[in-house]
Chains A and B, each alone.
Chain A
Amino acid sequence: MEGAWGRILHPLQLTDSGRPQLFPGEVECQLLDGIDLELEGQQQQQQQLQPLRSGVLTLTTHRLLWVDEPHQRSGASVPLAAVCRVYPPKKSIKAIFASPRIRIQVWYASDGRISAVGADRSVVLTLVCRGQANIDSFLGRLEQVLQSKAWETDKASAPGSSSVILPPNSSRLPGAAASNSHASHSKWNPAMAGVSGILRKEQEQWEEADKNLQDAFHDLNALMAKAKDMVVLAEKIRSKLLGGSGGQSMVDEEEPGSKQEMQDWLLSVGITSPVTKESAGALYHQQLSRQLADFVKVPLQRSGGMLAMVDAYCLFNRARGTELISPEDLLQACSIWEKLDVPFRMRKFDSGVLVIQSKEDSDGQVFAKLVILIKTPEALKVGISASDAARAFGMAPALAKEYLLTAENQGCFLLKGYYAGMMEQMVFVSLQTCLKILW
Chain B
Amino acid sequence: MRRRPGISGLQTAAATRDQYRSLGENVAKIRTDLMMEQLSIFRSQLEEFARKHKNDIRKSPAFRAQFHSMCAKIGVDPLASNKGFWAELLGIGDFYYELGVQIVNVCLSTRPHNGGLIDLEELRGLLSKQRRSSRDPITDDDCLRAISKLKALGSGFEVFSVGNRKLVRSVPTELNKDHNQILEIAQARGYVTSEEVQVSLMWHSGRVIDTLETLMKEGLAMVDDGHPDGIRRFWFPCVGSTSGAVEAGSELSS
Is A90 part of the contact surface with B, judged by Cβ < 8 Å? Answer: no
Is B152 part of the contact surface with A, judged by Cβ < 8 Å? Answer: yes
Is A273 part of the contact surface with B, judged by Cβ < 8 Å? Answer: yes
Interface positions, chain B 105-143, Cβ under 8 Å from A, are 105, 108-109, 129-130
Asked whether A227 and B97 contact (CB < 8 A) given A314-B108, A351-B172, the answer is no
B165 to A: closest C-beta gap in Å? 22
Whether A330 contacts B153 by the Cβ 8 Å rule is yes
Complex interface bits, A299-324 against B, C-beta within 8 A gives 1, otherwise 0: 00000001011110111011001111
Whether B49 contacts A234 by the Cβ 8 Å rule is no
A85 to B: closest C-beta gap in Å? 22
Is B35 part of the contact surface with A, judged by Cβ < 8 Å? Answer: yes
Whether A167 contacts B238 by the Cβ 8 Å rule is no
Is A390 part of the contact surface with B, judged by Cβ < 8 Å? Answer: yes
How many Å lie between the Cα of A347 and that of B212 in the bound state? 26
How many Å lie between the Cα of A261 and that of B109 in the bound state? 10
How many Å lie between the Cα of A17 and that of B78 in the bound state? 28
From the candidates A27, A241, A258, A321, name the one contacting B32 in the complex (CB within 8 A): A241
Interface positions, chain B 213-228, Cβ under 8 Å from A, are 214-215, 218-220, 222
CB-CB < 8 A to B84: which residues of A? none
How many Å lie between the Cα of A74 and that of B203 in the bound state? 53
How many Å lie between the Cα of A268 and that of B104 in the bound state? 13
From the candidates A254, A279, A318, A395, name the one contacting B101 in the complex (CB within 8 A): A318
Asked whether A398 and B65 contact (CB < 8 A) given A322-B54, A376-B245, the answer is no
We find that the number of chain A residues with CB closer than 8 angstroms to chain B is 112
How many Å lie between the Cα of A348 and that of B174 in the bound state? 11
Is B72 part of the contact surface with A, judged by Cβ < 8 Å? Answer: yes
Whether A328 contacts B54 by the Cβ 8 Å rule is no
Is A139 part of the contact surface with B, judged by Cβ < 8 Å? Answer: no
Complex interface bits, B17-37 against A, C-beta within 8 A gives 1, otherwise 0: 000100110011001101110
Residue of A nearest to B34 (CB): A206
We find that the number of chain B residues with CB closer than 8 angstroms to chain A is 94
Whether B174 contacts A396 by the Cβ 8 Å rule is yes
Asked whether A397 and B68 contact (CB < 8 A) given A308-B156, A310-B170, A425-B238, the answer is no
How many Å lie between the Cα of A395 and that of B50 in the bound state? 42
Whether A268 contacts B238 by the Cβ 8 Å rule is no
Whether B39 contacts A237 by the Cβ 8 Å rule is yes
Whether A353 contacts B78 by the Cβ 8 Å rule is no
CB-CB < 8 A to B31: which residues of A? 167, 170, 202, 206
Whether A28 contacts B61 by the Cβ 8 Å rule is yes
Whether B72 contacts A266 by the Cβ 8 Å rule is yes
Is A424 part of the contact surface with B, judged by Cβ < 8 Å? Answer: yes
Whether B252 contacts A373 by the Cβ 8 Å rule is yes
Whether A396 contacts B42 by the Cβ 8 Å rule is no
23 examples of A-B residue contacts, CB within 8 angstroms: A27-B64, A237-B74, A262-B74, A279-B61, A308-B170, A314-B101, A314-B105, A349-B174, A352-B155, A354-B156, A355-B154, A355-B172, A369-B252, A378-B244, A385-B242, A391-B246, A393-B249, A394-B177, A395-B180, A396-B175, A396-B177, A424-B219, A425-B219
